[in-house]
Amino acid sequence: MGALEIFLVSFGLAMDAFAVAVCKGLALKEMDWKKAVKVGLYFGIFQAGMALIGFLFGNTFSRIVIQIDHWIAFALLSFIGIEMIKEAFSDSSENCNDDMSIKTMIMLAIATSIDALTVGITFAFFKLNILLVLSSIGGIAFVLSILGVKLGNKFGKKYERKAQIAGGIILIFMGIKILLEHLGFIV
């Protein structure tokens, strides 16, 4: 997995956080950079942390499933991508409020990073610099979450659905690419 793939996976994973951040920005009467950074920190830290937990779990069991790792990566990434796309078309506005309490933010951060946990499992099957990957995941989620709050505050719901669809498509294509590489169709 090269730098471009790491970036694309990080970007795809951050789309859930971006969509929720857009809702948070939408609920703010006026832009508050302190709140935007708070949202970014919660989502960035949880995205990277959940990916690390997944990596550690996958690393523990990688020797057992090494023969089918590409199928697992394909299935997990495709499933998460499809779920993100389905979520984009559901009418869920439960996250569109300006509540920034610790309890609310932790619940949202966990909810938006479950996919990072799952993708983290697939990282155990690749030789990669996990610190670089986690930094990419956390950093991109942080930046996109801040951007999401700003765009939500400025433009409303216009970008939320598109972000989730784009993230889902990216994850599905990454899963297909991993599968095709391991089956020898892509060198």
Cα–Cα distance, 81 to 86 (Å, whole number): 9
Is the confidence at residue 95, as pLDDT, over 60?
no
Which tens digit of pLDDT belongs to each residue from 96-147? 677 788 998 998 898 888 888 888 988 888 888 999 999 999 999 999 999 9
**Alpha carbon of residue 99 to chain centroid:** 22
Cα–Cα distance, 165 to 89 (Å, whole number): 9
Q: Does 66 or 104 have the greater pLDDT score? A: 104
Backbone dihedral angles phi then psi of residue 127, each to the nearest 5 degrees: -90, 105
* DSSP assignments along 7-36, one per residue: HHHHHHHHHHHHHHHHHHHHH-SS--HHHH
Reference 49, options 145, 163, 142; nearest CA is: 142
- The domain limits of the chain are 3-182
User: Model-level pTM?
Assistant: 0.73
Backbone dihedral angles phi then psi of residue 145, each to the nearest 5 degrees: -70, -40
Which tens digit of pLDDT belongs to each residue from 28-38? 888 889 999 99
81, containing H or E segment: helix 69-89
Is the confidence at residue 91, as pLDDT, over 70?
no
Which tens digit of pLDDT belongs to each residue from 147-186? 999 988 887 666 667 777 877 787 788 778 878 888 888 7
3-state secondary structure of 111: helix
Mean pLDDT, rounded, of the chain: 84
